[in-house]
Structure 1
Amino acid sequence: MSKVVYEGWMVRYGRRKIGRSFIHKRFFVLEPRVLAYYKRKPQDNMVPIKTLLIDGNCRVEDRGLKIHHGHMIYVLCVYNKKDKYHRITMAAFNIQEALIWKEKIESVIDKQQDLNTINGNRVHASFPYKTGTAADRNASSSDQESPASPEDEEECNRTLMRRTTIGNGPPESVLDWTREGDSVLTNESNSDQVFSRKHWRLVRCQNGLRIFEELSQVDYLPRGCSRAMKAVGVVEASCEAIFELVMSMDGTRFEWDCSFQYGSLVEEVDGHTAILYHRLQLDWFPILVWPRDLCYVRYWRRNDDGSYVVLFRSRGHPNCGAQPGFVRAHIESGGFNISPLKSRNGRPRTQVQHLMQIDLKGWGVAYLPSFQQHCLLQMLNSVAGLREWFSQTDETHTVPRIPVMMTMASVSGSSKGRKNQESFNQPIPSLGQLHSASAHSAVLDEESDDDEDYQIPDTEEEVDFLKPDNSVKLADEDQSYQIDFSSFSGNLRRDDRDNSRDCWRIPDGNNFKVRSKTFCYDKTKIPAGKPLMELVTVDWFKDWKRIDHVARRQGCAVQVASEKGLFSLAINVQVPGSTHYSMVFYFVTKGLAPGSLLQRFIDGDDEFRNSRFKLIPSVPKGSWIVRQSVGSTPCLLGKAVDCTYIRGPKYLEIDVDIGSSTVANGVLGLVCGVITTLVVDMAFLIQANTYEELPERLIGAVRVSHLELSSAIVPVLEPNPSSE
């Protein structure tokens, strides 16, 4: 094998004929004359799936950012100009890796051009690419993988040297405020208006940021549109890390952008341009002021100096109409300019500029300067949020996510739209759901007859993706069936109202985070989604002694389920004290999928059960000290407290003795004193440790609201437990 210039795991990106994208994990190898990829790390004389000969006619095309099932990937296309149908399209889940590959491939192309020059071949002049101008090459950033434009075909007397393209440039309506020396149109409807060079003045320093205001008067803008303002700050992180965080619109954004409520993708125009829907979280007298939302076009590029530019401007879209209960604000100009600075003490430093010129629309208070300024400063303050996020976060790679907008159909709601906000805040699909959905649409590689879709990034160590995962088992466990809840009764009533007391209800499974399919490699967690079993009823017992083996109680939910041919899991949480209490949760399912993690847990030994039985607690409503004491960290109950497992013919009972742990006893002493003021969530699951077992699924979850100790009853238990 020739000398390897660079190698590593990437993904091959493409689109099927029906239009859906796919990605396959591949091991790419770059040699001095060849780019090739394999299904696994090559050994001996392994034949690659595909190769591309590298010479002076090759080019590297930056396809930009693509969205695949909510994940952002950065796509490069390498092709030979003389053979436009022979290309390799590769992608990475972080832009740093894509840039490394781009630079390595470019260096190999340059060396081949130098060799051609030495051998007496014709030397072609370099044709510089200027971004964002009308003379730009019309680079293909769409999903039709056309590697060259007609302009390239006519370049016989010009260069054959490789170029790196960055899409079609920003849309004409988007003002590139980072090019202050250029004359750029800022108003589509009035071509006579020209935006001259900006001049800024410092108006305040806030949260470690310098806040600037534009000096020039802009007469043609609407009355409600404020002057452009920008915040400038320094963040101790790389440009690439900041760029990825700015581009994401997942739950991480709540941690640094206080003006963000919800965001999703409306349309992907090309790799550098997209249309987004964005809801603002503005806290200026929310009782009086309607919430604002945005529909805007976003364009991004990377400059030669390593800086990133992200530009915004409002734009209408047929799939993103006005929403009831929201006022559609208008961004005249906005975005981020992310520029590298010299490192200090070995840490990267980046200057982040965030500009915004916005008309919040509406009437009445919308014209108040205090309203405009408050909301604008709240949005600009996200630069400080970025700085603090990186200063308090370990340098671990997170996968940027952006939820895809499936529909923007309006729904009816109240005049203020508060209820609408909850209905629109749809949870991002779990990666397990995405994996299951895409497994049916795998496409074969050129020379591969057993390829698999690859959904999320992995480490550079090889992972056996050829083994079947548990998606089929999950599908079996998740089959729909009807359970007659009226057959089950417990002494603690169910009440699904938010303000109810002394009752239980089933919380949304997406409130709990569980291990994703790739947790073993990247430690990511995802919303849990629908549980494996149904919670049918809850009992609240008390006695002078500890209450064990409640499944022997005549007429309990376990026995009712057994008579109906259903399998049940009873979790008996035992609370010690002068009076012993037990809260029993009964989960029911139609059957256990053979070989599934749930079936292995039910039929396994106590050692295996103790190492896997896990609780995720949460206190949505309660005092700060109780919420801090209980926390929301998952806990392996079998290792923290004593658990007794009782296996019956059609059930498993788990008696969890909270009193066996001094730490748990201390927390209980705190909780019991204020239990009537608390709303407590509990999710039970089996910990998944291997790739085949992932992603995790909840057994079930329960919410107990404002529990009264006096409502517990003394159970009547059979003296002799049923045979096991």
Structure 2
Amino acid sequence: MATTAQPSTPPPPAAEPGEVIEVESSEAGSPDAGSRSSSSGSGSGRSTSEYSGWVYHLGVNSIGHEYCHLRFLVIRGKCVAMYKRDPHDNPGLEPIRKGVVSHTLMVEELGRQKVNQGDVYVLRLYNRLDQTKKGEIACATSGEARKWIEAFEQAKQQADYDLAKGIKWNRLQNDNEFNLDGHRPRVRRYAQGLGKLVRIGKGPEMLLRQSSDLQSRERVNTNFGGDTGDALEAHEWRFVRTLNGIRIFEDIANSKGGKGILLKSVGVVGANPDTVFEMVLSLDKHKRYEWDMLIADLELVETIDGYYDVVYGTYEPKYLNWWKSKKDFVFSRQWFRAQDGAYNILQSPVSHKKKPPQHGYERTHINPTTWEIRRLDTSGSSTPKCVVTRMVEISLSFWDRWKRRTSSQFDRSIPFALLSQVAGLREYFAANPALTSDLPSTVVKPKASEPLIIQSELEDSEPNDEFYDALVRGESFEDEDSDDDDDDDGVTTPTAGKVKLKNVSWAIAGFAMKRSKASLERSELVTNSIPITFDPSHFHGTIRRAKSEDDPNSWSVPGGEKFMIRGKTYLTDNTKIAGGDPLLKLIAVDWFKVNDRFDSVALHPKSLVQSEAAKKIPFILVINLQVPAKPNYNLVMYYAAEKPVNKESLLGRFIDGTDAFRDARFKLIPSIVEGYWMVKRAVGTRACLLGKAVTCNYLRQDNFLEIDVDIGSSSVARSIIGLVLGYVTSIVVDLAILIEAKEEKDLPEYILGSVRLNRINPESAVAI
């Protein structure tokens, strides 16, 4: 995107935090001073960005009535303002709400909700240290919600930067923090130079739209753009046939935990993932008639939450004409969006009391299926593209029977109709080019008369984080989802975000490039210290260590070679390598059940950390995963260092750093080794920055750091964990914990700790 000439301003006068500083709009029109403005101020030489667009402001008034107001929201730097009209079209318009973003702001996605007779996507904003400062906004599409989350994340990073500079944040925060529940003082700052003006959404007409019309009635071939990522999976996909120009694959691994054979169709659709996602979830029969040959009508039965609903559908036998009667079905839909913008939709047959069997219809169970939608790189093209994968589970005997018959008979089956939906979407968007454009995100020259609030000093200096799917055995190492920005130090990252292994096998390259444990200890731990010898008999958790691979309700330590981490040259070529042995040693795992949230486990008198043996350990990392359920669970893992931590290392800076630094670096890679395939697709194998996904609280004392991970703070995470708990006794899951390396001196990355949880039984949790 092109940037624009920057407006000039005189040096700002000294002011106390919270003092109003007026911007002289007459000075903003001087083009000659633009470069002076962008290179002064913070001294970073970077220009600032502005994000703006229409949203709904949701809330409850003083007499308890719910309201829903159409508002224009502007974010520039860490400054936020809300208007009744677009201030770009109404010069001099005063905002009705304004303030600055706190570094403790949290943005939670609440999913789809019904507002003004239409489906919108709701975001909840709150201060994790002050729950009275909260509010909700709603966006027209999931893609817009993602863009607003990114805009608020940019504002938080600006606040983090100011905090690191020593600004007296507490006073500024108390006076001027942006609060959707109350009016705040006017905040105006001198312009530092506007680099781009990003408009989110297509305008108020999208928010005011009506709801959908709901009617009551061989070896692996993997060059298909499949998942690539941060952990290895066991699926092996073999190409078996082409249907309507879409390739069909069969999972020949037949991994444990499945109830049948898996088929999937994969195709490239000429639209962005957000648009395709909206189309798949749409209940509008007139649209579905254009791409879906199976379903005649869909009706929403119940909304469980913003990411989960139940739908009733019917279909006619005239297109799949070997039936003798009309069919109907009820199924549930769960959907998730990963941190890289990829979507997963899970669909399972269910029964519902509101929809008993209907007269004239034969009730049937539609196959368990999933949708996976992820963006493809379209550099040099104005048309967005995404890879759409439709995965279907069928019985093994059914598939074998159809493989032995002619394809014309298979073409009359329900699995065929489900797999053909990818081809239907591809043709639908090809025939409707007006639907294929990306969400508006334009760069324009700011007008001299625009009286908008102005950003503070520095735009985020680090590249956007990248997340890759797990590497399926034998798959390609390319992922087209990356859109990293250039780094401050002039290091430019490739545009396509491809994982390159320099034309050699990933295993050879990974083991050749990864750091040895001895090398890690030299850089992360104090070298001239005598290592501590751990006696396993001194450390006991409520879950025992596994005696064998099949030992249920136990834990073990998997090797790091199945996890893909950033290599030494990642900042220049995005190379990822196989991980090595964990730096820290897992000494115990606890499994608790509690009525209320259990924080600060390490301070409990009976905690392992408080034992005499643990006090002799140089450093202990306590990971407390707080699992929301009835009752709540706490999975607590204790990792120990044999030597003191080097204060200047990445680990040392993480241990004693700020919460903002920790949130931006604390990373987890999950991988379900064994389990039902739909649970695998829901959890995925993409790396996740936990500090950005959920609320993490940190306790640093004595010789330990405890990280309390509140999984219940995210509605998306709650939905996923609810699905996992339903299958937990049959799941084997690996977790790898890392500190993300964003600077060359910290590369290559290393695995801080890992754990394998083997079929954990909720009934075995110890009450606290």
Given the two structures, how large is their TM-score scaled by the length of structure 2?
A: 0.38
Given the two structures, how large is their TM-score scaled by the length of structure 1?
A: 0.40
Question: Quick check: which has more Rg, 1 or 2?
Answer: 1
RCO comparison, higher one (Cα < 8 Å, 6+) = 2
